[in-house]
Each structure stands twice: as C-alpha cells, then as structure tokens.
Amino acid sequence: MKISFLLHNAYGIGGTITTTFNLAHALAERHEVEIVSVLRHREHPTFTLDSSVSLRPLVDLRHERRHPLQLRPARVFPRAEYRYRQYSELTDQRIGDCLATIDADVVIGTRPGLNVHLALQAPRHVVRIGQEHLTLDNHPPQLRNTLRRAYRRLDALTTVTEADAAAYRRKMRLPGVRVETLPNSVPDPALPAADGTAKVVVAAGRLVPVKRYDLLIEAFAVVAAERPDWQLRIYGKGEQHDRLRELIADLGLWNNVFLMGAAAPMEAEWVKGSIGAAASDFEPFGMTIVEAMRCGLPVVSTDCPYGPGEIIEDGVDGRLVPVGDRDALGAALLELVREDDRRRDTGRAALENARRFAPGPVVEQAERLFAEAVSARRTGRRVVQGRAGARRVLVSQGFAARDAALTAAGSALRRVRRGRP
C-alpha cells in the first residue's frame, strides 16, 4: 500500500520528527512511503531520511515567508492549536490541495491541527489515521471541543500510551473511530551496548522547564558528594541553558555536571554512559528513556504522566521515583552508582525489555491497523476498539454514509473558524 505522513516540519528537530522518520523507514521496506512536510526552512532535513522514503514540502519559508496568503491567518488549522501562529491561508490552501489530489491508501496526521485538516479534507477513499504525540489532557478545552467534532471523521486515532488512549475513549466519545495505542519505535542500535563500567549518567532532551534538569542537577549533587569521580552529561539545547549553567556553578559541580549541547543521533553518547536519567514533570511518551534502554542503560525517571510508567519496570530495568522529589531521585541514582552488579543487571534487563519498542513489533502493529482500516473502508465494515481492548466488527451502511452525515458538521466548523454564521 501507499502510506503518506502529514508532518509539521520535517526539516526541524524534535521527538515527533524522529519517531515519524523511524516508522517511515521501517514501513518503506514493504510499502511505498511518503512524508509531506507542511513547512520547509532549510535545504536538507536535520535527521537523515532514507532514500526509500520520499519527502515533499508544501510551503518553503526560504522563499515564501512574505507570500500574501502566508501573511493571513489560517482558517482550517485550529486557532487553539499550539502551532497556530505558524499556519496561514497559504498552508490551508496547500494542505487542502495536497489532500484533494493525494493517491495514498493511508494518510497519517501527526499533530492535532493536521489531524483536523485530514478529517475534514481527505477524499472519501483515503483511510485517515490521526496520531496524538502529546496527550488529550494537555490540550486546552477549546481545542478538545474542536477535535471532538472533527475526529469523528477519522478512521482511527493512535496514542503513544495506553493511559492516553483510555482518556480518549472515556472523554471524547468518538463513535466508529478506533482508538489504539501505537508506541514510538527506536531503531536497532548499531553500536555495542553499554557495559555498565563508565562512571557517567546521561540525560537528553530540550532544556525547558518541564524537563526539570534543575531537579536532576540538584539530585546529582548527592552523587557527586559521595562519588566525585562520577559525571552527569546533559545533551540538548533550549531556553534554560544559562540558568542551568548558573545552577551548576552555584552548587560547585563544574567537574561533575556538563551541558554537552545537542547531539544527533544520540546513540554514540548513550553507550558512553552507565545510567540514564529523566526528571520530567510531564512526559507524553519518553523517547529518550527508550533510546537509553535500547543502548543498555537502566533509567532512573520520575513517574510522571504518562510514559515512564509504561516503559520502565521499577526495580527491574530502572527506577521510578515521585515527581519533583529531589531526594528520592538522588537516592535512586546513588543506589545504582554504588552497586556495580545491580547496575549491570538492570542494564541488561533494560536492553532486553526495550526490544518491544524496536521497529519490528511497532511496524507489525501499524501494518495490521492500516490493513484492517483499508479493508473496512472498502467494504463498509468498520473495526472499533472495545473497552477491554478486544476488537469487534460492526456492520454499517458504509463509510461514505457516515462521512455524508458528518459533512454538515464539518462545514459548520469551517464557517465558525471563518467568523461566518
């Protein structure tokens, strides 16, 4: 089958781009795969895209930033969506034209605003899969209301955790829309796994408040006081860089804590460590946790909503500690620092248990979902998810009838966005 991903900006950097590229690469082994990037701001993507996956940008900001339609606000892309200010009448037009002529069997939206475009504008023969890379509860009420109306025209919605899938099933009430968990995948490592002997703790991600690197640095001060030969290396860039550097200086940790800057790919840096760390207040999934575990590192993480608790088995392949608890975080790190055998054992368990996030199992699940959705749309039978996770088939009058019934609602939604009665 032909599969198209609709992505905000394939030329940037971020977790959604990474996981989209990973899934696209794996699917391209057996399918024709295309990534449609709404925006483009540079010549080549930051992350390497395999030649088997085609890339098609819609709006090139290098040349079209001052396009007349680019200066007008978007009318289809939801106003309450986080990225709204980056969208315009030009993106509305280009996305609409792209969807109207697309020849894919399956189109996958990768953020709420693009899922709305997909739900309202894709041709009836196209299977429409919306992806949620954040969480329902993270969206403002106005956006949730928009999604509740538009998402009824999707064939399926995937979330990266079961907790978020349960929230969608419970709160959104999307009749006929299959809601399923599809976790992010991480490619098989190319380098030998870490052996647990390096005296290095590694963390990675954007240097922003929600990631709580300040808490991690303060917790590591306990480790450095007892084991001054250990280091904490933090990879990433962001708005808190200077504040974190000042904190390191204030705590006298110049020789123990290092802000390493961004690194892509991270695999070569993970394998230089022996322990991974994450201190977030909120984590929709936890891509860096999986990356670390796939390189043989046990991860000490806060047990924040939603991802870490579905990735880490506490005491087996890592540790989970209460959110915001500096003392508990420091004690868990120190526990693995002190006990060499336990560190190595949990590292081996992390390597084994993280195999469920390898491309193979995730792609197999995605292919099954896509194939069943294509068959359902062609035959007029739809497969929906039961409360207990069991699937049941419902005979309907066909998706065309459902879409026709929802067309009036979609038109009304667009009129409201345009300020018309």
- Residue recorded with tokens 């680019």: 70
Residue 264 confidence (pLDDT): 79
Residue 106 pLDDT grade (very low, low, confident, very high; cuts 50, 70, 90): very high
Query: What pLDDT does 383 receive?
Result: 53
Q: What's the pTM value of the predicted model, to 2 decimals?
A: 0.83
Residues of the chain with CATH 3.40.50.2000: 2-185+362-417, 200-357
Q: Please give the single-letter amino acid code of residue 116.
A: V
Helix (H, G, I), strand (E, B) or coil at 274: coil
Q: Quote the percentage of the chain above a pLDDT of 90.
A: 84
Q: What is the mean pLDDT of the chain?
A: 91
Query: Distance between CA atoms of 152 and 105, rounded to whole angstroms?
Result: 19
Tell me which CATH homologous superfamily contains domain 2-185+362-417: Glycogen Phosphorylase B; (3.40.50.2000)
Given this model, what pLDDT does residue 414 score?
43
Stronger pLDDT, 262 or 242, i.e. the higher one: 242
Q: What is the pLDDT of residue 410?
A: 45
Least confident segment among 18-27, 225-234, 387-396: 387-396
Fold of the domain built from segment(s) 200-357? Rossmann fold (3.40.50)
User: CA dihedral defined by 400, 385, 96, 100, rounded to 10 degrees?
Assistant: -40
What's the pLDDT tens digit per position in 363-421? Answer: 999 999 999 999 998 887 655 554 434 343 333 334 444 444 444 444 444 443 444 43
Q: What is the DSSP letter of 181?
A: E
| Residue 86 reports pLDDT greater than 80 | yes
Question: What is the structure's pLDDT at 47?
Answer: 87
